[in-house]
Amino acid sequence: MNCTAKAKSCGDVCRGAPNSPCTGIWTSFSPLIRPTEVEFEFTMNGRVDLPNACVVFTEKPFEGALPDCKVGVQFTVRGGMQLCGGGGNLVRISNDGKIQNDKWNKVIMQIDWVEKVVVAQVDTRGKGYAPAIQTVPFRDMSCEGFGCLFIYNTDTQATCWFHSLRVKQGQMMEMDTEALDARRQMAENLQKKEYQRAVDADMAVGMKMGAIQSVKQHGLNLAQEQAANSKFT
């Protein structure tokens, strides 16, 4: 399909319908494949209150319940790009900016079949992939290969478009997990510093407001009040 409004050829995964869990497409692989790299480009438009732009690789076909398919890699968009790891826990993918309506986004996922983990990177600005900061385990560690691929949308108020999808099965490269751990720790430290700066700013405002209130009550500022109190101690 040629999406004129999107300026690229793409496939339209329209919004879900009432009484329908999702809309989408799927394909199968025989025999099972073990890709080491998956890359795709997509855009979306809408509120995204429910999982959208979902890209899911499973070992078995869908027969009523997704967990029964032995899900290996599950990518979704809901409040940001996320991977669904072990136990169904959602892990936010670090990226270089927020998703914008009708803005093309690229995602690349490196897959380690020895450890059964995924490393995902995102490019939302067209300036190259942001550094990866963590690994995410397969949703189901018993998954031995991919037999099916599902691309779908469950949100009734949003639509997504896919321009390309590339699946590569090559020699597995050893992942530098120490570098990933270091980048994750750096990101966590930066987040803590930003939080502390916000707390310090709030405290400064609070002290200033307290001083103003003190002046309103008895004409003394905070320093003068402390000096006056010290005379009686």
pLDDT in tens, 66-85: 889 999 999 999 878 999 99
User: Does the global pTM surpass 0.75?
Assistant: no
State the fold for domain 2-175. Answer: Jelly Rolls (2.60.120)
pLDDT in tens, 47-66: 778 889 999 999 999 998 88
Per-residue three-class SS string for 78-117: CCCEEEECHHHCEEECCCCCCCCCCCCEEEEEEEECCCCE
Mean per-residue pLDDT over the chain, rounded: 81
Share of the chain above pLDDT 90, in %: 42
H helices within 14-147, ranges in order? none
19: alpha, beta or left, given left = phi > 0 and alpha = psi -120 to 50? left
- Distance between CA 230 and CA 233 in Å, rounded? 5
* Alpha-carbon dihedral sign for residues 30, 36, 58, 125: negative
Q: Which residues contact 58 (CB under 8 A, 6 or more apart)?
A: 66, 69, 70, 71, 72, 143, 146, 147, 148, 149, 150
- Distance between CA 95 and CA 187 in Å, rounded? 12
Q: Which pLDDT belongs to residue 171?
A: 74
The reply to whether omega before 31 is within 30° of 0 (cis) is yes
pLDDT in tens, 1-31: 555 456 788 887 876 666 777 788 999 999 9
Mean pLDDT of 92-118: 88
pLDDT in tens, 137-185: 999 999 999 999 999 998 888 889 999 999 999 876 555 555 555 555 5
> Cβ atoms within 10 A of the Cβ of 205, count?
10
Instruction: Flag whether pLDDT at 233 surpasses 70.
Output: no
- Distance between CA 135 and CA 46 in Å, rounded? 29
Q: Which pLDDT belongs to residue 132?
A: 85
pLDDT in tens, 208-232: 665 555 555 555 555 565 666 666 5
Q: Which pLDDT belongs to residue 98?
A: 75
Q: Which residues pair with 137 in a beta bridge?
A: 117
- Distance between CA 24 and CA 56 in Å, rounded? 11
